[in-house]
Amino acid sequence: MEKLVIEGGVRLEGELELQGSKNSALPILAAAAVTGETSILKHCPQLRDTDAAMRILRHVGCEAERAGNAVIVRSDAPKQWEIPDALMREMRSSIIFLGALLSRFGRAELSAPGGCDIGLRPIDLHLSALASLGVRTEERCGRLCCSVPNGLHGATVTLPFPSVGATENTLLCAVRAKGETVIRNAAREPEICDLAAFFNGCGAKIRGAGTDTVTVEPAERFRALEFPIMPDRIMAATFLSAAAVTAGTVCLHRAAPQYLVPVLPYFEQAGCVVRVQDDDVLLHAPHRLQSTGLVRTMPYPGFPTDFQASAMVMAAVSQGTSVFVETIFENRFRHVPELQRMGAHITVHNSVAVVEGVPQLCGACVRATDLRAGAALVTAGLAAQGVTQVSCIEHIDRGCERFEHNLSLLGARIERIETDTE
Ligand code: EPZ
């Protein structure tokens, strides 16, 4: 078992190139199975989740190999439309392969996905959107057996909620459907734009990605493509929060600041000086952060739920009281009891958390309960007095590439240790 051990109280300083986006790489790895061509995905982060997606690609008969920070996928001869339970359980995003398999084979068999339990996470919106494109779904012994008896056809899909995953699965099918598809109330996340840009590079015609109405004209024929995965906007915010809670100064390169619009004001309200220059973001933090009042998580371009935990760590050491309202997932305050172990003053009422800032957190032994909660506990450890040990770090490895290495490049005293005790 591995743990991260952090000696707190060190001011972070320096510069870093941002990793590629996990939440863009995963749907694009699935999309690479749809084209039937060779895709070279540059800046594809090396993570537990992308490794799991590559295992699924190989299982269905694609070639998927890593070459430095690129992944090369050849999908000319996939053979398999069934994904075993074990592979599905490795990560929630495996559901994205439903659209890819239906698009390639007109059928798919898989079980409900696993992943971090931050909420119920049903897939009803995925299945109802795909039904509009001609997909028929039967559930047999806990397995979803999907088919397209008359082939995929274009349709107008109106999503009751702008679900990221349901929008992506609809795009994965629409690029091979007969006729045009229109997605209304589509998710507007930048990762949707990146998936659309990938498909457009391969020959599809997708318009309106990033808005609530996306139109898809299927590709007449796909072509091979070399494609740069966008930077990870959540990891950008996470590194900036690490600098903010240590009164540090950091510069992030390849930061795509245009996608950080929902979070940069949060840092400024907390008293940080933020400078954007081309693709770089520089943050200089004050000695003590200020509380920022009310934070409500929302679909993009609202405040990202994936940054809520790290933002709460900033609030925990700020001057004043902050209130967080989590509107996206039902169970996304699992970091709170761990932060309370470190001396944070946080009270939770259902989806509302009230955070009274304290001058200093104390090092403690804490447990990562999911990816973003884990990254937030590491950030808390950087701010705390003394030593913090974070266990269950397999969650962190799902989405943070070489986290301790990158933080130590900014001067953090952090190391990964092998241990046989939790
Ligand atoms: C994506 O998850 C991200 N994952 C999540 O990031 C992110 O938190 C989420 O979008 C919201 O931004 C990836 O991109 C791989 P949704 P996804 O479908 O697609 C409900 C991280 O830490 N819903 O927009 O699963 C659902 O339960 C992860 O990197 C239904 O009810 O998000 C949730 O409450 C965590 N029925 C809400 O919608 C459905 O069929 C948002 O889900 C689908 C979703």
Which residues are designated catalytic?
A: 116
Q: What is the pLDDT of residue 78?
A: 85
Indicate the DSSP class of residue 403. Answer: H
* Residue 234 alpha carbon, nearest atom of ligand 1: 29
Q: Is the beta carbon of 87 within 6 A of some atom in ligand 1?
A: no
Contact 169, 95 (CB under 8 A): yes
Q: What is the pLDDT of residue 165?
A: 98
How many residues in the chain? 422
The answer to pTM > 0.95 is yes
- Burial, 358: exposed, middle or buried (Cβ in 10 Å; 0-12, 13-18, 19+)? middle
* Residue 300 alpha carbon, nearest atom of ligand 1: 12
Q: What is the pLDDT of residue 369?
A: 97
Q: Whose CA is nearest to atom 19 of ligand 1?
A: 165
Cα separation of 166 and 98, whole Å?
Answer: 11
Which residues are registered as beta bridge partners of 42?
228
Over the stretch 77-135, which tens digit does the pLDDT of each residue have?
888 999 999 999 888 889 999 999 999 999 999 987 765 679 888 999 999 999 999 99
Cα separation of 103 and 174, whole Å?
Answer: 8
Cα separation of 175 and 154, whole Å?
Answer: 9
Does residue 411 come out as left (phi exceeding 0), alpha (psi in the -120 to 50 range) or beta?
Answer: left
* Residue 163 alpha carbon, nearest atom of ligand 1: 24
Q: What is the pLDDT of residue 116?
A: 66
Cα separation of 414 and 406, whole Å?
Answer: 10
Contact 40, 70 (CB under 8 A): yes
Over the stretch 205-240, which tens digit does the pLDDT of each residue have?
999 999 999 999 999 999 999 999 999 999 999 999
4-28 burial, b for 16+ CB within 10 Å, e for fewer?
bbbbbebebbbebebbbbbbbbbbb
375-390 burial, b for 16+ CB within 10 Å, e for fewer?
bbbbbbbbbbeeebbb
Residues in the chain where the model's pLDDT stays below 70: 114-116, 422
Cα separation of 176 and 37, whole Å?
Answer: 14
Q: Is the beta carbon of 371 within 6 A of some atom in ligand 1?
A: yes
